[in-house]
Structure 1
Amino acid sequence: MTGTTVNTVLGPVPADQLGVVSVHEALLSVVPGAEHAFDVVIDRAEIFETLAAKLTAFREHGGGTIVDSTGMFHGRDVRLYEALSAKTGVHIVASTGMGPEEMLGGYFLTPQTNPPTPWPAEKFADLFAKEVTEGMVVPRVERRAAAGLVVTAATREGMTATDESLFRGAARAALATGVPVSIRCGDLGVVLDEGLPADRVVVGELDRRDAKPFEAARHGAFVALDHVGLNDDDAYLDDEERVALVLGLIEAGHGHQILLSSNAVGVAKGHPEHDLPFEFVLRTFAPRLPAAHTRQILVDNPRTLLSKEN
């Protein structure tokens, strides 16, 4: 990994300094528009103290890096993340990107064309790539730290034309900038069709019962089991089944592609919290895995995914 770095909110960090990485979490998650609701309070000082305590606990249990995979317009607060990283010593990798279609604002859904058409992939690619090369936008026009990941998701019931445009734009941005892409739902083949190598893609939600983790692994993508600790939703495997899936992937030769996280939400506004500690995987789940593979899964694999050449 010599010569590789990872974009964090405090600037590029040598990849070998990331330590244990939790690859799909949310620090501050705000449903778009909820900040304007009469019953939603956005107290930045309170949010800072809550997140600082949670990140400190993560660090004290051996954690090194949190990846905030919320993308644009869902509460991402770059200034807040900079202050949290400086306070706690935890590296924070923030992300660009958006999706699925139902979560996009009308600006991206109804361009002034007749008839209306989705934003073209190249416009999404330019938007996301600039957040990597020029810094993430802080409303209204200021740019700050560079994004370290492009995230997008497709409509669960089936990809729409806008979802496909998002996937293609995310892949093109990744090709142009060297950062990886995280996709949820949708078709892995769409991003691969853009020429993005499979080992620059992480496919999320592969611990759903209807997911196909071995298929994604055979294509060469990273396999994210990203709801560890969720044991009361019939749509997902429980943790006992997740352990069995990890062991099966290792036995099939895919140990170098496994990623784990909890989809934990540090502070949620406008939707229920998934209030697991950020260290849940490290403290509770990882000890159930073969010791010979825990470092690879928690340290080596996410480092490989997030790294980009200087």
Structure 2
Amino acid sequence: MSFKTIPFLLLSILILFSCGQQESKVITVNGAIPASEIGKTLHHEHLLVDFIGADSTGYHRWNKNEVVEKVLPYLLEIKKLGYKTLVECTPEYLGRDPELLKLLSDKSGIQIITNVGYYSAVNAKFLPQHAFTQTARQMADLWIEQAQNGIEGTGIYPGFIKIAVERAPLKEINKKVVEAACITHKATGLTIMSHTGPAVPAFQQFEILKEYGVHPSAFIWTHSNNEKDNNKHLEAAKLGAWIAFDKFTPDNQDEFVDFALFMKKHGLLGKLLFSHDGGWYKPGEPNGGDFYGFTGIEELLIPALLEKGLTQPDIHQLFVQNPSEAFKVGKRLLKE
């Protein structure tokens, strides 16, 4: 078979997963790109989330054109501010719609990254029934298939693994989802982003990573700002994990600024991620409900960071270099 007979997108994925190439790529809904082209990035946002539950959600719950009409202006806003990439963190069974994301990416010019994985927090309300009977291996096989062959026949590929656990000691179902994420990372090189919160479940997940031979640098500790002991953040960052402060608002601006200064003081600014956890279109609400946009970091947080002593290279590190490194595809394993 000639390379000319292979669709371009499939070829890009084959190249991406070949030896020696995966280290420098990220995967958007429009295919694989060099990690150096990720540009200014918001690493944790949502464009649509459906909280009705795994047993009731589905594409029938929203009209793509109506969602585009609502959401597109918010993407155009951040494009004008110089952002190139938005990481869309809504997982399957919670409203993930890869074709909608591609439509929004094409219309806005913003690179969008989608995911594979399950959300096992909130008493597992957002897990499909089969997740309770499958093994971690069987669950991972479903995710690996999407990573290797595309999501639901769309030709759109996930660029990371999104999971969620309870903000408490891990339950067995949480542990299984984390194990499945580890298996998937080892097969695909996709980074694991885990909605976590406090340190206790975060460090339990690090133990599971260790059991499976996955290095903590493959793991984003999401909502880590819910943990108030900065020594735990330091410990995790020194292990190699990504420390993600999410849900930026004007009310918590000082907390974000202080933490950035703290991480810089300890030489760990290179392990920090900031985002809004903003959005989103809400199926079932009139006109998709209220939408929290994505401009607060640029308009409020970055000026405050610069005023308090961070430099323009520091800002580049936080919003370009760190996301590029965090989401590049590559297996990050513990040495034997």
- Structure 2 equivalent of residue 284 of structure 1: 300
8 Å Cα contact 1:188/1:203 also seen in 2: no
Aligned to 1:105: 128
Q: Over the residues paired in the alignment, what is the CA RMSD in angstroms?
A: 2.5
Distance in 1, Cα, partners of 2:26 & 2:172 = 32
Residue of structure 1 in register with 2:291 after alignment? 275
Deviates more, 1:64-73 or 1:41-50: 41-50
Secondary structure (helix, strand or coil) at the match of 2:237 reads: helix
Moved more, 162-171 or 272-281: 272-281
User: SS of the counterpart of 1:202?
Assistant: strand
The aligned runs of 1:58-207 (5 Å cut-off) are 58-100=78-120, 101-109=124-132, 111=133, 119-137=134-152, 142-185=153-196, 186=201, 187-189=204-206, 190-207=208-225
Of 316, 320, 331, which aligns to 1:295?
316
Residue 251 of structure 1 pairs with residue 265 of structure 2: yes
Structure 1 residue aligned with 2:67: 47
Q: What is the CA distance between 1:78 and its match in structure 2?
A: 1.0
**Contact 2:119–2:164 (CA under 8 A) maintained in structure 1:** yes
Task: Give 1:159 deviation, angstroms.
Answer: 0.9
Question: How far apart, CA to CA, are the structure 1 residues paired with 2:142 and 2:228?
Answer: 32
Please report how far the alpha carbon of residue 266 of structure 1 lies from its aligned counterpart in structure 2 after TM superposition. 2.7
Q: Does 1:225 align with 2:239?
A: no
Structure-2 separation of matches of 1:170 and 1:8? 19
Residue type of the alignment partner of 1:286: I
Q: Corresponding residue for 2:17?
A: none
Instruction: Name structure 1 gaps, 5 residues minimum.
Output: 112-118, 232-237
Higher strand share: 1
Deviation of 1:306 after TM superposition, in Å, equals 0.9
Letter in 1 for 2:291: D
Alpha-carbon deviation of 1:104?
A: 1.1
Amino acid at match of 2:237: A
Aligned residues: 290
**Residues of 2 paired with 1:273 and 1:188: CA distance?**
34
> For 2:178 and 2:54, how far apart are their aligned partners in 1?
26
Q: Deviations over 1:275-309 (max 9, x none)?
A: 33223222321222212310000000000111125
Is the CA contact (8 Å cut-off) linking 1:124 and 1:169 kept in structure 2?
yes
Aligned residue identity for 2:170: M
The match for 1:239 is 253
Name the SS for the 2:281 alignment partner: strand
Matching residue's letter, 1:148: G
Q: Mind listing any 5+ residue stretches in structure 2 that lack a counterpart?
A: 1-19, 332-336
Contact 1:98–1:104 (8 Å) recurs in 2: yes
Q: Under a length normalisation based on structure 1, what TM-score does the superposition of the two structures give? A: 0.86
Q: Does 1:14 align with 2:30?
A: no
**TM-score under structure 2 length normalisation:** 0.80
Query: Taking structure 1 as reference, are residues 134 and 34 closer, same or farther at Cα in structure 2, changes over 3 Å only?
Result: closer
After TM superposition, give the deviation of residue 192 of structure 1 in Å.
3.2
Distance 1:213 1:268, change over 3 A: farther
Structure 1 residues 32 and 132 mapped into 2: Cα distance closer, same or farther (>3 Å)?
farther
**What is the aligned partner in structure 1 of residue 6 from structure 2?**
none
Q: Cα deviations across residues 25-81 of structure 1 (Å, max 9, x unaligned)?
A: 1111111449969xx973322210121111111111111100011111111111111
Matched letter for residue 108 of structure 1: A
